Structure 1
Amino acid sequence: MGNLFGKKQKSSPSRVTEQDKAILQLKQQRDKLKQYQKKVQVQLDKDREVARALLKEGKKDKAKLMLRKKKFQESLLTKTDGQLDNIEQLVHDLEFAQVEQEVVKGLQVGNSSLKKMHELLSLEDVERIMDETQEGIEKQREIDDLLSGGLSDEDETDVLAELDEIIKQSEASEVLNLPDVPEDNIGEPRTREKERQKEGKQAVLAS
């Protein structure tokens, strides 16, 4: 039990890349420069007010010295603007590089998937499937044409001729299969009637 609860869990690998660290450091430097600019700007305003006060007191040399200090601070402020521009450009480039990297990874995954699909289904298989599909479509069209009466004049003539032949064969078969006429007692009623008439004539002559 002690080992179960006392065992340290393996920490998951950090997802923070070197590019992320670099971007973070650049943004921290950018923020520091901006804070420095604000501080310098406040100092410049103070130096200007001090120079005015010295001029009022007639201390022209000290006022001039203060203005020189102010000018130097302004040059530093201009340099920080250039540094800020460089940092912003670096941050933009690194972030865009990360986007490009993700795009490349996506393309690699897509290409790998395409290769696997191509391995599973070769060009010959695709051509065979397309041929079979085309044959199936053509057969279905033929069936649809037959069912919808879409026959040519020659086909209709052949159909009528075959129908006439079947009818003739059917009639000939019926004639051959007629029942036999019975031969027994054919004409018997007429023969007896003639004999009766003959007997009647003989009786008249005898009397």
Structure 2
Amino acid sequence: MGGLFGKHKKPPSRITEQDKAVLQLKQQRDKLKQYQKRIEINLEKDRQLAKKLLNDGKRDKAKLLLKKKRYQEQLLQNTDAQLEKLEQLTHDLEFAQIEVQVLDGLKTGNEALKKVHEILNVDEIEKILDETRESIDKQREIDELISGQLTEEDEEAVEAELEEILDIQDKLPEVPTDKLPEVQKEKAKKEKEKRIAMEAS
């Protein structure tokens, strides 16, 4: 019963501190960009208002407005520099995360290689190669023994059998090329089958 209403453990978060830092930097960058847009809109408004004041003969007020505009332009330049720093910092942090992942991958690969090397050490490999060579040598010896078991008499019998097969082939009559009637064709076919059977035996 307690298991039903008990609190389930939350899975560990995959969001790292670096991820949070990158997110914050991007949020600050977005806020700065919004701030820049507001200043740019205000600058255009102040410029238009200064024109109107000059047309109305209010030179001092127009001058004061242009001073304010000049100050806002400096702020805009400062935000540009800050934005550049933020972008660079974000880039550096993201690249550092990639480097960490690469290092983790190398570490994992290194550990896997160590395990493989532990399983297959140099002595073990040499032992396997030696055993393989021994097996090949034994097989070669067996092959030589089998092929070397034939006596001189056996060799002569094999040669005689070869000669006999060649003689039989030479003594066989030529197959006629003329068209045969059906009965002769059948007879010739049977003779041919007998010959083939004899050659095979």
Equivalent in 144, 148, 152 of residue 163 of structure 1: 152
Pairing 1:104-115 to 2, within 5 Å after superposition: 104-115=103-114
Cα deviation per residue 1:28-75 (whole Å; 9 max; x = unaligned)? 100000000000000000000011011101111211111111111011
- Structure 1 letter corresponding to 2:120: L
**Residues 1:46 and 2:45 aligned together:** yes
- Structure 1 letter corresponding to 2:4: F
Q: CA deviation at 1:131?
A: 3.7
- TM-score after normalising by structure 1: 0.65
Structure 2 CA distance for aligned equivalents of residues 75 and 137 of structure 1? 86
Structure 2 CA distance for aligned equivalents of residues 83 and 62 of structure 1? 32
Match of 2:125 in 1: 126
Cα deviation per residue 1:106-137 (whole Å; 9 max; x = unaligned)? 11111111111111111111122234445556
Structure 1 CA distance for aligned equivalents of residues 15 and 154 of structure 2? 89
Cα deviation per residue 1:137-173 (whole Å; 9 max; x = unaligned)? 6777x69x98xxxxxxxxxxx999x526986xxxxxx
Structure 1 CA distance for aligned equivalents of residues 16 and 136 of structure 2? 56
Q: Secondary structure at 1:8's aligned position in 2? A: coil
Structure 1 CA distance for aligned equivalents of residues 152 and 74 of structure 2? 110
Distance change in 2, residues 1:38/1:137 (3 Å):
farther
Structure 2 CA distance for aligned equivalents of residues 166 and 50 of structure 1? 122
Q: What is the root-mean-square deviation in Å for CA atoms of aligned residues? A: 2.9
Q: Look at both structures and tell me which one has the larger radius of gyration over its CA atoms.
A: 1
Q: CA deviation at 1:9?
A: 0.7
- Structure 2 letter corresponding to 1:60: R
Which structure 2 residue ranges, 5 or more long, are not aligned?
Answer: 157-201
Identity %: 56
Q: Secondary structure at 2:7's aligned position in 1? A: coil
Which structure 1 residue ranges, 5 or more long, are not aligned?
Answer: 147-157, 168-207
Distance change in 2, residues 1:90/1:159 (3 Å):
same
Match of 1:62 in 2: 61
Cα deviation per residue 1:158-203 (whole Å; 9 max; x = unaligned)? 999x526986xxxxxxxxxxxxxxxxxxxxxxxxxxxxxxxxxxxx
- Structure 2 letter corresponding to 1:90: L
Cα deviation per residue 1:74-119 (whole Å; 9 max; x = unaligned)? 1100110111111111111111111111111111111111111111
Pairing 1:70-109 to 2, within 5 Å after superposition: 70-109=69-108
Structure 2 CA distance for aligned equivalents of residues 101 and 122 of structure 1? 31
